[in-house]
Amino acid sequence: MMSAIRHPRVLVAGGTGHYGQHIVRSLAQRGAAVRVLSRRAASARDLLGAAPEIVEGDITSAAARRAALHSMDALVIAISAMAPGLVRQTQAIEEDAVLALLEEAKE
């Protein structure tokens, strides 16, 4: 009996950023089931197309992180708070939220 190949389910945090977009497309081309956590789902869909699943939420929200991590096999972090509107939140995004995301992913 032949078993079906199961492709990994990968969450890309920061999937709409410069590097994140390339990561999302590359994973999708390789057959991974890709999920992206984005503050603006409609913008993410316009940017990334139909391939990834989009979970709307902010990385600084524990509920959004948990929803995005649910049932994932792997996590890729491509977060950057260097956009003009986010620079003042750099520590909350790039340090606090990313560290929390890593801890939650371990669980």
| Whether the Cβ atoms of residue 24 and residue 35 lie closer than 8 Å to each other | no
DSSP string, 44-68: HHHHH-SSSEEEE--TT-HHHHHHH
CATH class of domain segment(s) 9-106: alpha beta
pTM of the model: 0.84
Length of the chain, in residues: 107
Give, as one character, the DSSP assignment of residue 87: G
- Look at residue 72 and give its three-state secondary structure: coil
Note down pLDDT in tens along the chain; length 107 residues: 555 677 899 999 999 999 999 999 999 999 999 999 999 999 999 999 998 999 999 999 999 999 999 999 999 999 876 666 665 677 777 778 888 999 999 98
Domain ranges of the chain: 9-106
| Whether the Cβ atoms of residue 12 and residue 78 lie closer than 8 Å to each other | yes
